[in-house]
Structure 1
């Protein structure tokens, strides 16, 4: 949500989303930067977002607004600060040192330089508050000068490598936005693609996209059913020492048990929300 839009912020308090990102960067014109900063801070302090986490995306530290954004956002103590165009562990450290309390650090992966430092950036989570990657597909496509189609063929490598780097270091990772607000079919295809890649969710630019994204990233009923079958099979006393089972004609290993347990936990968390 552009933090310069007070009406949008108010609506965000009731949306069926997990996170509200109050944007001070790309969605805000230069002459509205100060207003956006003030309104974002006021919104965090006022609360009223229920279970939704509130994140402030600041302008880069190399811009005229970045330092003031970071200082004000850190003082407000949102759930996280989202830093744009992070390309190195040094960038992570620059944002991290300004944070206080339990505010976490999220970073945008949206530069060509970042693609060649993914592992190092993710590894910096060991010594910082970093816990989430957010893919900035628009900026990445701009830098690469590639075409940002629904299937994102030019970005398949960067997307998969970003997921792998995040998983290697225990980070959450969110897919980039889909720009065509009225193209529900294209959004559904891209959400399904993101889920197949292993993203934890998708960033969105309009409330009408939420339902489609929630459906794509929620476990299907048949998946949950099969997960329970796997767990039950391994829970049987006769299978306690077995590493691999034949369940309903399928080979199931203990790695599948871990996947099944996670899927059940995700489904339960969604049901309880």
Structure 2
């Protein structure tokens, strides 16, 4: 364990100083693309302005014989990247793969000044983050980067869930966590073959009625991921980093996708992965507060004045706790509006 007084000291001579606070930038959707696919790379200039985060995926969705091509393709995209509101991320290969070192070495040397976040899959404990932390510091110093690369971990093993709090607190480089439901389901031996979302077999049923018809008993589908997602959100909140829902694999079910994303939004997640262009608009809509919600929050804050005491507004009691809730919504609306004049107009907020 590092001493608190040394926690924000660079881990390598010449590396940039670690950030003391994770900068909040809109990241309602982390949109994945395969850099080994030339057609996908050609679409980057059109897709990038429509998303908050564009992520070049080097891991599981890329076949073993395309790993080098994916890495080279992402470097090509990065060298042409013009920094703006959209962030450029990557998901590198896992720490136990033969490609991880080549990934971070090449990306830091070639486009380290363009990358914002490196997503690390299958993180199981703080020791994984410590290793990545030190390695990135050495590479930053070697290349001469002026700002630290941030790290985003994917929660996709049972051991990772058990260690989620210590993972979040492992380094000032930590930016956030994503839920990886498919790998987590396999590691837990869960009996589902779906990528995210619920399962019709995971349900509760109303009690039986004497001499009643069992077929008339109402059932309710439950959320397989509620416990894990809530624990992840709490761990991220404790560490001051950002939680995300991961993938929803059924592209043909936009309603199910929207429901799952909204559950995550209400629990505290700031965004989710989009695997197909059709999911971009869903994530943008769900992870942006509704204008009526923003207007209500503004009204509560205005009528509460200094935030102390209690008032009744439309028959609802408002006090210091509800003011804090409303300020969360207003701050998110302001952050999103800074990069989206259309949203600012809908909220009645001025753009910066």
TM-score after normalising by structure 1: 0.92
RMSD of equivalent CA atoms? 1.7
Pair 1:85-2:129 in alignment: no
SS in 2 for 1:218: coil
Pair 1:253-2:319 in alignment: yes
> How far 1:42 sits from its partner (Å)?
2.2
Aligned equivalent of 1:133: 177
> How far 1:50 sits from its partner (Å)?
3.5
Pair 1:151-2:195 in alignment: no
Pair 1:119-2:165 in alignment: yes
Identify which of 87, 92, 99 aligns with 1:53: 87
Give CA deviations for 1:130-189 in whole Å, capped at 9, x if unaligned. 111111111111212222463363322111111111111111111010101121111111
Identify which of 29, 39, 44 aligns with 1:12: 44
Do the aligned partners of 1:132 and 1:171 also contact (CA within 8 Å) in 2?
yes
Pair 1:186-2:232 in alignment: no
Aligned equivalent of 2:282: 212
Do the aligned partners of 1:53 and 1:79 also contact (CA within 8 Å) in 2?
yes
CA distance in 1 between counterparts of 2:224 and 2:254 reads 22
Aligned equivalent of 1:96: 133
The gaps in structure 1 that reach 5 residues or longer are none
SS in 2 for 1:258: helix
Aligned equivalent of 2:65: 31
Aligned equivalent of 1:110: 156
SS in 2 for 1:228: helix
CA distance in 2 between counterparts of 1:143 and 1:109 reads 11
Aligned equivalent of 1:64: 98
CA distance in 2 between counterparts of 1:241 and 1:223 reads 19
CA distance in 1 between counterparts of 2:275 and 2:325 reads 30
Do the aligned partners of 1:2 and 1:23 also contact (CA within 8 Å) in 2?
yes
> How far 1:247 sits from its partner (Å)?
2.3
- CA distance 1:201–1:241, shift in 2 (3 Å): closer
71-80 or 162-171: which moved more?
A: 71-80
Aligned equivalent of 2:335: 269
Do the aligned partners of 1:56 and 1:73 also contact (CA within 8 Å) in 2?
no
Aligned equivalent of 2:34: 2
Do the aligned partners of 1:13 and 1:48 also contact (CA within 8 Å) in 2?
no
Larger Cα Rg: Structure 1 or Structure 2?
2
Structure 1 stretches of 4+ moved >6 Å:
none
> How far 1:56 sits from its partner (Å)?
1.1
Give CA deviations for 1:224-269 in whole Å, capped at 9, x if unaligned. 111011111122xxxx373333222211122322222231222233
Do the aligned partners of 1:13 and 1:50 also contact (CA within 8 Å) in 2?
no
TM-score after normalising by structure 2: 0.72
CA distance in 2 between counterparts of 1:6 and 1:134 reads 27
Aligned equivalent of 2:22: none
Higher relative contact order (Cα pairs below 8 Å, separated by 6+ residues): 2
CA distance in 1 between counterparts of 2:129 and 2:233 reads 18
Give CA deviations for 1:87-131 in whole Å, capped at 9, x if unaligned. 111100111122223211111111110111011111113xx3111
Q: Which has the higher helix share?
A: 1
SS in 2 for 1:87: coil
